Amino acid sequence: MAGEILDNQGKGEVSWSWPSIHREGIIFGSIAVGLSLIPLLLLGWQILGWPMLFVSVGVFAFFRDPERVVPQDEAAIVSPADGLISLITQVEPPEELRIEDGSAYKSMPSGPVTRVSIFMSVFDVHINRTPISGTVTRLVYIPGKFMNADLDKASEENERQHFLIERSDGLQVGFTQIAGLIARRIIPHVKTGDMLASGQRVGHIRFGSRVDVYLPAGTEPKVLMGQRVIAGETILAEVGQAKLLEGIAQ
């Protein structure tokens, strides 16, 4: 199904398949399986070996990398992460995205914008994707703490990596990968100057974390607090739309 065009009128062929595993997951999962076989087969410690083998399966599952059907709409800003909408607030974009860095690319303008925070538990897919098509004009890594990613101050104090994507028409969307209590490494798959399609993979964070998205001025989210979103598929917002939405948890 990869690369196939599908639509809401029934075009395309779809079938279920096992999600692929990121290459890091194959390495870590294989190591975990090998370590579990030592007490299970060589030492006969089944009480230890079987739980370790179960954890190995969890390692493979953590690094799963399923295909996604990305909406092809110029107005759509898609979710960069799987997870729970945990915060929606008005903030200034990160300083690292606003200051001039001496490059030929322009920075984000100052002024309050809507930030949508997506919390990823260890059970979510951790491959992150770009919310719009465009060029990576800034990629900034900041070392920091490893506080609970649910906290608002994690955006400014935790280890994080900022992305700024700019379309050919000048529209910019910034987003930030933030490490959490368990996450200990943020790994990019792209570099400054790369041209990306909407929903393309840009990196991953190991073992639980958060992604913040900074929407363009005048744009409000189409998602609600407490809603679960899917990277590359859920439309977080439509450019220029600022309609109030309400929901009921049930």
> Which residues are known to be catalytic?
209
Distance CA 209, CA 3 (A): 29
For residues 57 and 28, the answer to whether their CB atoms sit within 8 Å is: no
Residues 118, 229 contacting (CB under 8 angstroms): yes
Local structure of residue 9 (DSSP, 8 states): T
Helix (H) or strand (E) holding 238: strand 235-238
Query: What dihedral do alpha carbons 92, 87, 162, 110 form, nearest 10°?
Result: -10
Cβ proximity of 165 and 131 under 8 Å: yes
Q: Are 77 and 236 in contact (CB under 8 A)?
A: yes
